Amino acid sequence: MKFVVPVAIFVALALIPLLAAVGVHVPGIVTLIASRVMIFALAAMSLDLIMGIGGLPSFGHAAPVAIGAYAVAVCDAAGVQAAAAVIPAALAAAGLFALATGAVALRTRGVNFIMITLAFAQMVYFATGSLADYGGDDGYTLSARTTVFGLDLLDAKRIYLTTLVVLIAVYVLLRVIAASRFGRALAAIRQNRGRVQALGIDAFAIELAALVIAAMIAALAGVLMANQAEFVSPAYAAWGRSGELMVMVILGGLGTLHGAVIGAAIVVLAEEGLGAVTQHWPLVLGPFLVLAVLFFRHGIVGGARR
């Protein structure tokens, strides 16, 4: 039964291109918004690995997303659009960033951990804004989308299906990781770090590995985000984006993975809906999200289970 909800979610997402294929008119805005939902869901699921399962509340998870996006920009400026080069570059850059910053951040706990991850993300934000060759604060417009084995799988018509396949693949991967000895050890560290260390398990190494895995998945979301928008901006690394990802995970349900998809859908749809009504939509969305987190303390998925 635990797989009924995620299967229903993925089937619902698959219905959008399927309806279009059989002749049903699907507005382009629907496909565009659904694509954004899946990309944010990908980043939110990676955060759920470390925050929901590992108990590491990173407030700088937008940094690896931005690193992945800027890897696309750097490769594009060099005339490289092949995914075989772009994706490894994005994953390697985000992984190394998480390895270096995680080694420092994991020396702290609680609020200190949250603040140091925020500080590192802000470093990325200001660093990307200073890249004059890539537009600086104004951002960088891609000359062409990334190609996969020479095919335009990330163009405007195919990026939806590509993103859906990637989302499902990452969800399955994270499920396997969570059920593995590594995932169980990570969850045990969240519950009682001292006891796990007393058993001879290197808690630091496991948490650091989780941070690296989560950063690499977030970078993949950044690659898709850059290709969908054909634009890269320092705003991808802003602290507000990290806050959005945390809200998505908490709202959907910590540690559920598919709850991150539900949370991403709610936040993105709320932003789009309110944005069409008023330019002051954050003033409306903010209190709503606060109330949702207060009254759904276990998230939507967790609350439904209870």
- Block means of pLDDT (10 residues each) for the chain, length 306 residues? 82 88 78 94 96 92 96 94 94 97 93 94 94 90 89 84 95 95 94 88 94 97 94 92 90 88 91 78 74 69 66
Longest CA span, the chain: 61
Are 260 and 47 a contacting pair, CB within 8 Å? yes
- Token readout for 247 is 């809200």
Rg (Cα) of the chain, in Å, rounded?
19
The predicted structure's pLDDT at residue 199: 86
At 37, the amino acid letter reads V
The predicted structure's pLDDT at residue 110: 86
User: Residue ranges per domain, the chain?
Assistant: 4-305
The predicted structure's pLDDT at residue 38: 96
Question: Please, what is the angle between helix 110-129 and helix 239-252, to 10°?
Answer: 130
Class of domain 4-305: mainly alpha
The predicted structure's pLDDT at residue 265: 93
**Residue in 153, 213, 167 with CA at minimum distance from that of residue 38:** 167
Geometric angle at alpha carbon 249, from 248 and 250, rounded to 5°: 95
State the pTM of this model.
0.93
At 202, the amino acid letter reads D
